[in-house]
Amino acid sequence: MNDHLVKKRLGYAMVLGSLAALGPLCTDLYLPALPDLASELATTTATSQLSLTAGLLGLGAGQLIFGPLSDRLGRMRPLLFSLALLLAASIWCAVAPTIDQLIVARLLQGLAGAGGAVLSRAIARDLYNGHDLTKFFALLMLVNGLAPIVAPVVGGGLLSFLSWRGIFGALAIIAVLLFILSAGKLHETLPAQRRSHGGVAAMAKSLAALLHHRQFMGLCLTQGFILAGMFAYIGASPFVLQQIYHLSPQMFSLCFALNGVGLVFAAQISTRLSLMWGELALVKIGLAIAAVASLLLVIAAAMHAPLIALLIPLFFSVITIGIIGPNAGSLAMQSQGKNAGSASALLGVCMFALGAASVPLTGLGGTSALSMAVTICGCFFIAIVIFVLLARPAFARQS
């Protein structure tokens, strides 16, 4: 491979990897600023968390919008539109005078962020196949794993010299840079003759078939509720660790990063172990660890335990997400053939919709360590029940 082609591939990797990180950036960059945001806008913790919920809803809905749209119109026009929308929404977030306006702006910001995430995968599929595609997807997965770790740390650093409005201003600058890079480095990868003409009806029919697939839906909902527990942690932890345990935004970011590193390592280790034991065994092991860790988290929170006694079961609750999520998602996708695109969209929508529902639950009656722990534990145990009732019987019939 000549130097020009290597540099071209590296340029694509940098741009597409940055686009893949838009979802986590939109969700996690402003997390350390949530308490300040609630104070300045004179709103409650639960109401301020609705800004996170709105962003998650946008990220979920956007996958159903930009994916099919790009199959019909090509990749570049929807991509550039999503980045322009991200710029406008970020500016609106930065200047929003009320929490109501911020929530609407966050919904649009989530929609825009979903465009970058979905289209980065679509463009990669257009460009590569075989082992090259596998390696490129591995890069995108690494970015998606590291971005949630880095974003709160960067957000905490920005808060040392910017307000929460400045963080949304930084996201606006990121949108401009990605628009310039995408327009300059990328090109249309879906020729007109390969574009879809099925329309909304064809996609709706495909999604309806998936909803009646017992094994797929069991795994989809298992993964969705496990990740809903993660979003409950994401939404509540800034208030619990900063307001109740009095950590600085920078120390909170470091704690968040430590849990994120554990999640990434757990995902990498479980991927290797799945080659020996199989994905189904790893899902079962992960669910068992999730049950024990989340119960210990509830006990620690109920006893108003010292910070370290709370952080240890919280750490293990978070890393189980790295075990269950990838393996349940992989099994779900393996059960599908020609419906892989719709299956991927439904997995994403389920994850973000359930995550959006779990976040405000932690703020009912005032966010506390106990409300966070109970919500995480509840999500995990619903996932276990769904797996036992839906997914496991389907696998038993196959054996």
Contacts of residue 276, defined as CB under 8 A and 6 or more positions apart, other chains included, come to none
> pLDDT tens across 16-28, in order?
878 878 877 888 7
Cα(15)–Cα(22) distance, rounded to whole angstroms?
Answer: 11
DSSP letters, 69-117, are HHHHH-SHHHHHHHHHHHHHHHHHHHH--SHHHHHHHHHHHHHHHHHHH
> pLDDT tens across 69-104, in order?
887 788 889 899 999 999 999 999 999 999 999 999
Closest CA to 203 of 63, 58, 335: 63
Q: How confident is the model at residue 146 (pLDDT cuts 50, 70, 90)?
A: low
Helices (H), the chain: 3-20, 22-28, 34-40, 45-73, 76-95, 99-127, 130-158, 164-185, 199-211, 214-239, 249-277, 279-302, 307-334, 340-361, 369-386, 392-398
Cα(144)–Cα(139) distance, rounded to whole angstroms?
Answer: 9
Contact 97, 45 (CB under 8 A): no
Provide the pLDDT for residue 9: 63
Q: With 0-12 CB in 10 A as exposed, 13-18 as middle and 19+ as buried, what is 139?
A: middle
CATH tag, 198-399 = 1.20.1250.20
Mean pLDDT of 141-147: 61
Q: How far is CA 60 from CA 28, 57, 108, 118, 367, in A?
A: 15, 5, 12, 10, 25
Residue 81 structure tokens: 């539109």
pTM across the whole model: 0.73
Query: Where along the chain do the CATH 1.20.1250.20 domains lie?
Result: 7-193, 198-399
Contact 21, 113 (CB under 8 A): no
Residue 138 structure tokens: 């591995």
Cα(323)–Cα(244) distance, rounded to whole angstroms?
Answer: 30
Q: How confident is the model at residue 304 (pLDDT cuts 50, 70, 90)?
A: very high
Q: How confident is the model at residue 206 (pLDDT cuts 50, 70, 90)?
A: low
Second CATH level (architecture) for the domain 7-193: Up-down Bundle (1.20)
